[in-house]
Amino acid sequence: MESTNLKCPNCGSELLFNAEGQNWRCNACGCQLSQDEVFKLTADSDHDIYQQSEETDAQPELNVYICQNCGAQLVTDDNTTATQCVYCGSVSIMKNRLEGRFRPDLIIPFETTHQDAIDAYNKFLRKKKLAPSQFANPENIGKITGVYIPFWLYNGHAMGNLSGEVHKSTSWRSGDYIYTKTDVYHIERAGSIKYEKVPVDGSKKFDDDTMDSIEPFDYEKFKPFNYSYLSGFLAEKYDVTSDESQERANLRMGNTLISSFLSTVNGKVMNMQEDKNINISDIKYALLPVWMLNTHFKGQTYPFAMNGQTGRLVGNVPIDKVKAWLFFLKATLIALALLCIISWLFFM
């Protein structure tokens, strides 16, 4: 299995993408390279900037690769395209898994740092007073990882119509009586919307609702795909094809069309009839940046995700029953103490 590492041209150490400066930096010698410099190096000679190895006698189904930094043999699943060595921490990129139909068209580089993600997570936890202590453990928080998630982007055109009845009631009082008048209106709406880059998560590993919740991404920041952006981050390739994902794209486009119709109606639509037709004109494959942390607690996994570009986050944490009981007990004791003080002052 072929693996690659982006190497500093000055000292040979690992060259990482710096989200804050939007350049590449070597932590060993301090060398900083711009996008043009890195792209030129990768274009001039893959063997100079990327050190490669071929596992000749390993069984392909095991997905074994050799870390170029420490020589450790590691195993990945079929969909991992950039992974971190658990022994030395360096990131290896498996370029051969991002070739042909698996090569992305576009990528949005990370704009938030690992520390930004940690700060956001700590701020999120401060609002969760009853969260289990495990969630705030620095060792757990340090596992927040930057991952490029595969997405399909659909361009399309949705057209349709909607009809129904709007019941609008008005009430007034006259003497001892309350009168209610209900007007019934028949409404019809029709129209079309043109869509560009409607995103659908292309990986089974990541929950669709979680990925939807951290949208939107700023599509003005899309760049043509280059392996160099993966340096320092993990990455996955799609395991849900564009055809399999299209049903969800159609659903998102159709729901948006109907919502736009309903936004023009003053009142609740009854007996609604709708008709939609979705046409997809173009599909792009992209990698989008996400900071991820999965915390396991009592047999369940609780995900935290943050948009690696905008910082928008979503997360879920359980309630620690012991903490909840102690909180209730503390609140009860404080309330009783205040009641005693107030009673004593009253009788005095």
Q: ∠ at Cα 273 (272, 278), nearest 5°?
A: 125
Residue 114 counted as domain residue: no
Q: Clarify whether residues 155 and 293 are in a common domain.
A: yes
Q: Clarify whether residues 240 and 283 are in a common domain.
A: yes
Main-chain phi, psi angles of 167, to 5 degrees:
-100, 115
Q: Clarify whether residues 190 and 281 are in a common domain.
A: yes
Instruction: Look at residues 81, 98, 115 and tell me which one is the last residue of a structural domain.
Output: 98
Domain that holds residue 216: 147-159+185-317
Q: Clarify whether residues 210 and 297 are in a common domain.
A: yes
Sign for the CA dihedral angle at 313, 319, 320, 323 comes to positive
CA-based end-to-end distance of the chain: 84
Residue 123 counted as domain residue: no
Q: Clarify whether residues 9 and 151 are in a common domain.
A: no
Residues in the chain: 348
Rounded Cα distance, 285 and 48, in Å:
28
Q: What local confidence, expressed as pLDDT, does residue 53 receive?
A: 36
The distance from CA 173 to its chain's CA centroid, rounded to whole angstroms, is: 53
Q: Where are the alpha helices (DSSP H) in 85-167?
A: 114-126, 138-141
Q: Clarify whether residues 154 and 259 are in a common domain.
A: yes
Secondary structure of residue 31 in the 3-state scheme: coil
Residue 268 counted as domain residue: yes
Q: Clarify whether residues 30 and 152 are in a common domain.
A: no
Residue 342 counted as domain residue: yes
Q: Clarify whether residues 230 and 306 are in a common domain.
A: yes
* Measured torsion, CA atoms of residues 77, 83, 89, 90, in degrees rounded to the nearest 10: 130
pLDDT digit string, tens, across residues 219-270: 999 999 988 898 888 888 898 999 999 999 999 999 999 999 999 988 888 8
Residue 27 counted as domain residue: yes
Number of domains in the chain: 3
Q: Clarify whether residues 189 and 275 are in a common domain.
A: yes
Residue 120 counted as domain residue: no
Rounded Cα distance, 47 and 68, in Å:
13
Q: Clarify whether residues 338 and 280 are in a common domain.
A: no
Residue 219 counted as domain residue: yes
Q: Clarify whether residues 281 and 197 are in a common domain.
A: yes
Residue 172 counted as domain residue: no
Each residue's pLDDT, cut to its tens digit, for the chain (348 residues) gives 344 567 788 877 778 888 888 888 888 778 888 888 888 877 654 433 333 333 333 333 345 556 666 665 555 666 666 666 654 556 666 666 677 788 899 999 999 999 999 999 999 988 888 788 888 888 889 889 899 999 999 999 999 999 999 988 889 998 889 999 888 889 999 999 999 999 999 988 888 888 889 999 999 999 999 888 988 888 888 989 999 999 999 999 999 999 999 999 888 888 899 999 999 999 999 999 999 998 888 888 888 999 999 999 998 888 877 676 776 777 777 877 787 777 777 776
User: Closest Cα to residue 92, out of 59, 60, 52, 56?
Assistant: 52
Q: Clarify whether residues 152 and 301 are in a common domain.
A: yes
- pTM score: 0.75
